[in-house]
Amino acid sequence: MKTLKDAKSGDNVIVEKISCGGSLKRRIMDMGITKGTSIFVRKLAPLGDPIELTVRGYELSLRKADAENIIIK
């Protein structure tokens, strides 16, 4: 399984599944990251955390701890 944490800068990925539950899953889904959503990985911070993404036409910064719960293809 490849997660969003493993994606490189410039990758365009599709969300396959969100592997966490509860309030964290709800928070990720409220950001617009749902199954089938296309995500463009814009860049990584100098130390690798956070990840800057383009999701549904807007910019989003996501911590690696949260990104490892998002399964991609």
The pLDDT assigned to 32 comes to 92
Domain covering 2-72, topology: SH3 type barrels. (2.30.30)
The pLDDT assigned to 48 comes to 72
The pLDDT assigned to 69 comes to 93
The pLDDT assigned to 1 comes to 85
The pLDDT assigned to 47 comes to 81
What pTM does this model have?
A: 0.88
Q: Please tell me whether residue 15 adopts helix, strand or coil conformation.
A: strand
pLDDT tens digits for range 3-54: 998 899 999 999 999 998 899 999 999 999 999 999 999 998 888 789 999 9
The pLDDT assigned to 28 comes to 92
Task: Enter the DSSP assignment of 54.
Answer: E
